[in-house]
Chains A and B, each alone.
Chain A
Amino acid sequence: MIKHRYRINNVILRTVAKLVSLIILTLAVYLFLAGHHSPGGGFVGGLVLASALVLLLIVFDIETVRKGIPVDFKKVAAFGALLSVGTGFGALIFGENFLSQAFDYFNLPFFGKTELTTVMIFEAGVALVVVGVVVTIILSISEDE
Chain B
Amino acid sequence: MNNLIAMPMMLPVLTAIILIFLRPYIKIQRTISLIVMIANIGISIYLLQLIQSNGILRLDFGGWEPPFGILFVADSFSVILVLTSSIVTAICLLYAFSSVEKSYEHMFFYSFINLLVAGVNGSFLTGDLFNLFVCFEIMLLASYILIAFGGKKGQLRESIKYVIINVISSWIFLVAIGYLYAVIGSLNLAHLSERIAEHGQTPIITVISIVFLTVFALKAGLFLYFWLPGSYSVPSTVVGALFGALLTKVGIYAMFRFFSLLFYHEPAITHTIIGVLAGLTLVGGSIGAVAYKDIRLVASYNVVIAVGFILVGLAVSTQSSLEGAVYYLVHDMIVKALLFLLVGTMIALTKETKLDQMSGLIRNYPLLGWMFFIVTLSLAGIPPLSGFIGKVLIGGGTLENGSYILLALAFISSIFVLYSLLRVFLSSFWGETIISKDEEIPMKKGLLIPCALLTIGSIALGLGAESLSVYIQDAAQVLVDPQLYIDAVLSSD
Chain A contacts to B: CB under 8 angstroms: 74-75, 78, 81-82, 85, 88-89, 91-92, 96-101
Q: How far is the CA of A99 from the CA of B62 in the complex (A)?
A: 5
Q: How far is the CA of A65 from the CA of B397 in the complex (A)?
A: 67
CB distance from B210 to the nearest CB of A (A): 34
- Chain B interface bracket (under 10, 10 to 19, 20 to 34, 35 or more): 10 to 19
B470 at the interface (CB under 8 A from A): no
B21 touches A85 (CB 8 A): no
- Picked from A75, A85, A100, A101, the residue with its CB within 8 Å of the CB of B10 is A85
B61 touches A97 (CB 8 A): yes
Which chain B residue lies CB-closest to A101?
B62
Q: Could you say which of B11-19, B155-163, B411-419 contacts chain A?
A: B11-19
B60 touches A97 (CB 8 A): yes
A97 touches B62 (CB 8 A): yes
As a 0/1 sequence over residues 49 to 75 of chain B, the CB contacts with chain A under 8 angstroms (1 = contact) are: 000000000011111000000000000
* Interchain Cβ contacts under 8 Å between A and B, 14 examples: A82-B18, A85-B13, A85-B17, A88-B10, A89-B14, A91-B62, A97-B1, A97-B59, A97-B60, A98-B10, A98-B62, A99-B61, A99-B62, A100-B62
B202 at the interface (CB under 8 A from A): no
Within 8 A of A (CB), among B96-151: none
Which chain B residue lies CB-closest to A92?
B3
B6 at the interface (CB under 8 A from A): yes
Q: How far is the CA of A45 from the CA of B63 in the complex (A)?
A: 27
Which chain B residue lies CB-closest to A78?
B20
- Picked from A74, A78, A81, A97, the residue with its CB within 8 Å of the CB of B3 is A97
Question: With A85-B10, A89-B10 as given contacts, are A75 and B20 in contact (CB-CB < 8 Å)?
Answer: yes
New A-B contacts (19) at CB < 8 Å, excluding given A92-B3, A97-B3, A98-B10: A74-B20, A75-B20, A78-B20, A78-B21, A81-B17, A82-B14, A82-B17, A85-B10, A85-B13, A85-B14, A89-B14, A96-B63, A98-B3, A98-B59, A98-B61, A99-B61, A100-B62, A100-B63, A101-B62
Say what secondary structure dominates the interface of chain A: helix
CB distance from B223 to the nearest CB of A (A): 37
Which chain A residue lies CB-closest to B18?
A82
Which A residues touch B21, using CB under 8 A?
75, 78
Q: How far is the CA of A92 from the CA of B20 in the complex (A)?
A: 24
B17 touches A97 (CB 8 A): no
Which chain A residue lies CB-closest to B7?
A98
Most central of B1, B14, B18, B62 by chain A CB within 10 Å: B62
Q: How far is the CA of A119 from the CA of B60 in the complex (A)?
A: 17
Most central of A88, A99, A101 by chain B CB within 10 Å: A99
CB distance from A79 to the nearest CB of B (A): 8
Which B residues touch A97, using CB under 8 A?
1, 3, 59-63
Q: How far is the CA of A89 from the CA of B10 in the complex (A)?
A: 9
Which chain B residue lies CB-closest to A77?
B20
Which B residues touch A85, using CB under 8 A?
10, 13-14, 17
